[in-house]
């Protein structure tokens, strides 16, 4: 039993020494709280769409005529009216548009009138080409009646009289229509 008491005393002494060591040591650090950060939500950039079939008013900037033009010639146009969607101007007045001469027939003898056919191609807005569709045909004046009088007055020389040239005059308005939906970045407020 004496051994047991000695053992108990030794145990008590060892436990007291351990407590003394614990008292001199700094207390254990408290565990840090775990913070979970949610990823930032992915926000799609705001866009506004110019729908297919939107009308764009285009003005001819320089006369195009059947005498000077040939098929394949390109010509410039100017947007004549702001195109807005939801109160925002997507195509401003003054933006450049382009057209192409499809056919051009000059005047001919016996009063034949000139003809010109042109189509719209696209509008350029800040480097973005917006395709537009539209076509314009024009014919010059017919001089058949004048040819008859010329033949009566001048004989066969009256047959060389020509009709009028066809033209798209500067300032003439052509209506084009967008051929596809076009997305624009929504401006920051």
Task: Tell me whether residue 3 is in a domain.
Answer: no
How far is residue 133's CA from residue 143's CA, in Å, rounded to a whole number? 33
- 38 CB burial (10 A radius; 0-12, 13-18, 19+): exposed
CATH of the domain at 177: 2.40.128.260
Overall number of domains in the chain: 1
Q: Compute the average pLDDT of residues 20-25.
A: 54
Q: Which residue has the higher pLDDT, 21 or 106?
A: 106
Q: Compute the average pLDDT of residues 21-40.
A: 65
- 153 CB burial (10 A radius; 0-12, 13-18, 19+): exposed
Task: Tell me whether residue 10 is in a domain.
Answer: no
pLDDT at 38: 67
How far is residue 3's CA from residue 94's CA, in Å, rounded to a whole number? 110
Return the beta strands (E) in 66-152 as ranges. 74-79, 83-85, 88-91, 96-105, 115-125, 128-133, 135-139
Most confident of 117-126, 137-146, 151-160: 117-126
Backbone angles phi, psi at 39, to 5 degrees: -65, 150
pLDDT at 165: 80
> Percent of the chain at pLDDT above 70?
61
Would the CA dihedral through 112, 134, 75, 173 be positive or negative?
Answer: positive
Task: Tell me whether residue 25 is in a domain.
Answer: no
The Cα diameter of the chain in Å comes to 160
Q: Is the pLDDT reported for residue 18 higher than 70?
A: no
Task: Tell me whether residue 16 is in a domain.
Answer: no
Task: Tell me whether residue 141 is in a domain.
Answer: yes
How far is residue 24's CA from residue 104's CA, in Å, rounded to a whole number? 105
How far is residue 120's CA from residue 59's CA, in Å, rounded to a whole number? 11
pLDDT at 90: 95
Q: Which residue has the higher pLDDT, 152 or 189?
A: 189
pLDDT at 146: 43
Q: Which residue has the higher pLDDT, 75 or 18?
A: 75
Task: Tell me whether residue 13 is in a domain.
Answer: no
First to last CA, the chain: 91
Q: Compute the average pLDDT of residues 174-189.
A: 87
Backbone angles phi, psi at 180, to 5 degrees: -155, 160
Q: Which of 76-80, 144-148, 174-178 has the lowest mean pLDDT?
A: 144-148
Which residues span the domain enclosing 152? 47-185
Task: Tell me whether residue 22 is in a domain.
Answer: no
Q: What does the pLDDT look like over 45-99, one tens digit per residue?
A: 578 999 999 999 999 999 998 888 899 999 999 999 999 998 999 999 999 999 9
Backbone angles phi, psi at 16, to 5 degrees: -65, -40
Task: Tell me whether residue 76 is in a domain.
Answer: yes
pLDDT at 95: 97
Backbone angles phi, psi at 3, to 5 degrees: -70, -40
């Amino acid at each position: 039993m004496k051994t047991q008491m000695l053992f108990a005393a030794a145990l008590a002494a060892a436990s007291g020494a351990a407590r003394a060591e614990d008292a001199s040591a700094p207390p254990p650090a408290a565990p840090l709280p775990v913070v979970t950060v949610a990823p930032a939500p992915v926000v799609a950039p705001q866009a506004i769409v110019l729908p297919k079939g939107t009308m764009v008013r285009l003005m001819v900037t320089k006369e195009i005529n059947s005498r000077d033009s040939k098929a394949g010639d390109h010509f410039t146009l100017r947007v004549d009216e702001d195109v807005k969607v939801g109160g925002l101007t997507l195509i401003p007045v003054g933006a450049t548009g382009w057209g192409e001469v499809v056919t051009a027939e000059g005047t001919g003898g016996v009063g034949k009138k000139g003809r010109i056919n042109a189509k719209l191609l696209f509008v350029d807005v800040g480097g973005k080409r917006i395709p537009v569709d539209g076509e314009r045909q024009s014919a010059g004046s017919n001089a058949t009646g004048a040819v008859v009088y010329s033949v009566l007055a001048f004989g066969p020389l009256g047959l060389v009289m020509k009709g009028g040239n066809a033209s798209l005059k500067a300032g003439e308005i052509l209506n084009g229509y967008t051929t596809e939906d076009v997305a624009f970045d929504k401006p920051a407020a």
